[in-house]
Amino acid sequence: MATSAAGPVLIVGSGLIGRSWAMLFASGGFRVKLYDIEQQQITDALEIIRRDMKLLEQSGSLKGSLSAEQQLSLITGCLNIQEAVEGAMHIQECVPEDLELKKKIFAQLDGIVGDDVVLSSSTSCLLPSKLFAGLVHVKQCIVAHPVNPPYYLPLVELVPHPETAAATVDRTHALMQKIGQSPVRVLREVEGFVLNRLQYAVISEAWRLVQEGIVSPGDLDLVMSQGLGPRYAFIGPLETMHLNAEGTSSYCARYGESMKHVLKTFGPIPEFSGATAEKVHQAMCMKVPDDPEHLAARRRWRDQCLMRLAKLKSQMPSQ
């Protein structure tokens, strides 16, 4: 963990993801400037961060070695981009997922930053080659894609532009580790990066199985939450292969042909609309009605579960 007064780190956009980054960087002892175009957004964000940090402290789940008050004292709001950028060693952009808006912001930052700051985007799916095209400081640009909620799900996908310097990737990787996140290097940009490609593969097959009447929506989700999911919280699909036989080669020899046989029966990309969409929606609403209160309550429950799982994972002996 860094000691206090490291940084500062600049967060551009103080919504859901900007707030989470601010908390994570403060937990690592970094000074954080939270920039937004709306004063009200900044005021609200600082209040939400205060509330969340206090709750986390009470439940023993606050990250880092500093108290909530110490971490809160590291975070300040800022409405002036020029002032916000001053001295920043890392800039994490968190504005809405809109290519033109993000390009505008990076062009603005490009005009005022020096040569020693990392310009990082939280984008979920915009390609670095589109986001950072033509920037003078392109070597300092990278995507650092978090997973929601970033405070409990530590994965960060680092995706370089073809011209991003290796030092930028290394620096961002080290910074993410310093704040307790788990960075992975995506070696070449690809649509959906890695996490969403895996997620979409699972969603597609889940959808087809429901569409073909092979399993109900509720039971489909149980297959993941009671079967694959808990195992994947600790080991990935490749290590699963390795452990489910006498090593990966043995798994491929034993199960390769049957995997290929099943995979050949997979259908086309679903439309995600029509009768199946209605069926899935109805089933999900039976469990969680889609009004704001029920959805928010279920999200709070999910975050509590993830918080406990994160705690458990941190207590497990590493092997």
User: By rule CB under 6 A, what string of x and - marks binding of each residue 78-107 to ligand NAI?
Assistant: ----------------xxxx-------x--
Please, what is the minimum distance in Å from the beta carbon of residue 32 to ligand NAI?
A: 15
Please, what is the minimum distance in Å from the beta carbon of residue 274 to ligand NAI?
A: 26
Q: What are phi and psi of 215, to 5 degrees?
A: -150, 155
Q: Which CB sits closer to ligand NAI, 12 or 241?
A: 12
Residue 18 engages ligand NAI in binding (rule: CB under 6 A): yes
Q: Which CB sits closer to ligand NAI, 36 or 189?
A: 36
Provide the pairing of β-strand 75-78 with 90-93. Answer: unpaired
Under a CB-based contact definition with an 8 Å cutoff, are residues 91 and 85 in contact?
yes
Please, what is the minimum distance in Å from the beta carbon of residue 41 to ligand NAI?
A: 4
Q: What residue has token string 């709306």?
A: 38
Under a CB-based contact definition with an 8 Å cutoff, are residues 92 and 10 in contact?
yes
Q: Identity (one letter) of the amino acid at 193?
A: F
Give, rounded to a whole angstrom, the gap between the first and last alpha carbons of the chain: 22
User: By rule CB under 6 A, what string of x and - marks binding of each residue 129-148 to ligand NAI?
Assistant: ----------------xx-x
Q: Which CB sits closer to ligand NAI, 66 or 90?
A: 90
Q: What is the C-alpha to C-alpha distance for residues 232 and 153, in angstroms, rounded to an integer?
A: 13
Nearest 5°: CA angle at 312, between 308 and 314?
A: 115
Q: Which CB sits closer to ligand NAI, 34 or 206?
A: 34
Residue 119 engages ligand NAI in binding (rule: CB under 6 A): no
Comparing C-alpha atoms, which of 79, 26, 38 is closest to residue 8? 26
Residue 122 engages ligand NAI in binding (rule: CB under 6 A): yes
Comparing C-alpha atoms, which of 171, 25, 169, 16 is closest to residue 95? 16
Residue 179 is given by DSSP the state: T
Q: Identity (one letter) of the amino acid at 66?
A: L
Q: Identity (one letter) of the amino acid at 141?
A: C
Q: What are phi and psi of 110, to 5 degrees?
A: -55, -35
Q: Which CB sits closer to ligand NAI, 27 or 122?
A: 122
Residue 112 engages ligand NAI in binding (rule: CB under 6 A): no
Residue 191 engages ligand NAI in binding (rule: CB under 6 A): no
- Kindly tell me which residue out of 10, 27, 31, 36 binds ligand NAI, with binding defined by CB under 6 A: 36
Query: Which pair of tokens denotes residue 244?
Result: 């489910």
Please, what is the minimum distance in Å from the beta carbon of residue 199 to ligand NAI?
A: 12
Residue 22 engages ligand NAI in binding (rule: CB under 6 A): no
- Kindly tell me which residue out of 22, 34, 41, 128 binds ligand NAI, with binding defined by CB under 6 A: 41
Residue 37 engages ligand NAI in binding (rule: CB under 6 A): yes
Q: What is the C-alpha to C-alpha distance for residues 244 and 256, in angstroms, rounded to an integer?
A: 13
Residue 154 engages ligand NAI in binding (rule: CB under 6 A): no
Residue 295 engages ligand NAI in binding (rule: CB under 6 A): no
Identify any residues that bridge with 119 across adjacent strands, giving them in sequence order.
Answer: 91, 141
Q: Which CB sits closer to ligand NAI, 106 or 251?
A: 106
Comparing C-alpha atoms, which of 118, 31, 42 is closest to residue 80? 42
Shortest-Cβ-distance residue relative to ligand NAI: 15
Q: Which residues bind ligand NAI (CB under 6 A)?
A: 12-18, 36-38, 41, 94-97, 105, 122-124, 145-146, 148
